[in-house]
Structure 1
């Protein structure tokens, strides 16, 4: 896989996360959680977004599910 293909794949994953996210739900959250979810949508970096939220892995995954953000691997 070339660098261009990786970058293209990452942009497609970002687009999917942006389109499917429940922005009304995300915007209703406290600033720390809202920022962590927005960071995840833009980067796909689950572990750093989890750390920003100050949540354990399972609880953050549940928050992502409630926000309807697909986990694109």
Structure 2
């Protein structure tokens, strides 16, 4: 059961980054009215970069330390 949650977590993280970027973009569009589409691209890239860092961090924690064997 825990293994299926681990498989779904990266997908949920990436999906939340995309949905969060769209929500923040539309909120900014309502507040400022003159928001360029480039803000959405920047928000999406920031979300993907943050998720990439989080994914790499968790992946590094999962890999056992080979130095302990020697």
TM-score (norm 1): 0.35
What TM-score do you get using the length of structure 2 for normalisation?
0.36
